[in-house]
Amino acid sequence: MKRTTAIGLIFLFWAIIAAAACGAKKTVISPEVASSDEALYKEGEKYLTKDPERARLYLRQVIDSFPKSFYAQKAKLAVADSYYNQKDEGNLILAASEYGDFIRQYPYSPSASLAQYRIGLCFYDKSLKPGRDQQKTVQALAEFKKVTSQYPLSEEAKLAQDKIKDCEERLAEHTFTIGNHYYRVGAYKASTERLSEILTNYPLFTGMDKVYFFLGDSYYQWSLLPNSPVKTDQSFPFFTKLVTDYPKSKYAEKTQDRLKEIRAAQNSVKK
């Protein structure tokens, strides 16, 4: 019984501490500030960096009390920025949602392109390196493409183009990693399928020389397996493309050897 009472007192103690903490954080908005959209916005702006929660209280009051005000639009964007600037994954999710709401409420705002660009950044900032889960890279790419398609003349469209290139580079490298894994374990059908995706989806990939080599060599090695279809003719165009377009590639010499082997095999068949 005494133990139960002691535990109850401990819980009561922490409840009092929590209540006191909540009370200490409670913000009372004066009537003078509450009656002015500008004053509310400026109060919120003042706390954006040092106390984002308090800043959002003022900013949301602008949105709720003065929904058609010029400051309501600024406040809505500032709320989204306040989440984005905290950078952790949970707040980035909230930021993306707030930016989306901003675009829906103010589709013709000059800041709509900025909001869309930052939605992309919310995913981009947490995207992982090639070889790991690329879901956020895929989401970021889709959002950046919306910037260039919906706001093609905006400054953000130029920034989005750079991010699109980077996202596609990551996804191409990730796809290559998977394709190369299949190549190394001798699953050549799977490796050709994966590596071919890069040619179709990411034609500007900077590592295209290695794609040509491993794609060509996948077909070549596939042909050498017992009871396998002859695929050397399919490897020839990729090897030729590599030595023509990337003569200084580290794969060029090995590719030349493969071409000699293919030609020798073709000549022996003719004889």
Q: What is the pLDDT of residue 228?
A: 78
Q: What is the CATH number of domain 31-109?
A: 1.25.40
Specify the 3-state DSSP secondary structure of 178. helix
Q: Please give the residue that has the higher pLDDT: either 187 or 27.
A: 187
The vertex-180 CA angle with 179 and 182, nearest 5°, equals 65
Statement: residue 20 has pLDDT above 50: no
- pLDDT digit string (tens) for 43-87? 999 999 999 999 999 999 999 999 999 999 999 999 999 999 999
Specify the 3-state DSSP secondary structure of 55. helix
- What are the domain boundaries of the chain? 31-109
Query: Looking at residues 158-169, what average pLDDT do you find?
Result: 98
Q: What is the pLDDT of residue 30?
A: 83
Position 271: which residue type?
K
Query: Looking at residues 149-157, what average pLDDT do you find?
Result: 98
Rounded CA gap, 41 and 44, in Å?
5
Token look-up 């960096």 returns: 49
Q: What is the pLDDT of residue 226?
A: 85
Rounded CA gap, 77 and 100, in Å?
10
Q: Please give the residue that has the higher pLDDT: either 14 or 207.
A: 207
Tokens coding 138: 């895929």
Neighbours of 165 (CB within 10 A): 15
Q: Please give the residue that has the higher pLDDT: either 19 or 42.
A: 42
Q: What is the pLDDT of residue 262?
A: 86
* pLDDT band at residue 25 under the 50/70/90 scheme: low
Lowest mean pLDDT among 112-116, 217-221, 230-234: 230-234
* pLDDT band at residue 271 under the 50/70/90 scheme: low
Compute φ and ψ for 62, nearest 5 degrees.
-60, -45
- pLDDT digit string (tens) for 77-109? 999 999 999 999 999 999 999 999 999 999 999
**Maximum C-alpha span of the chain:** 101
Q: Which pTM does this prediction carry? A: 0.83
Rounded CA gap, 8 and 28, in Å?
33
Rounded CA gap, 242 and 249, in Å?
8
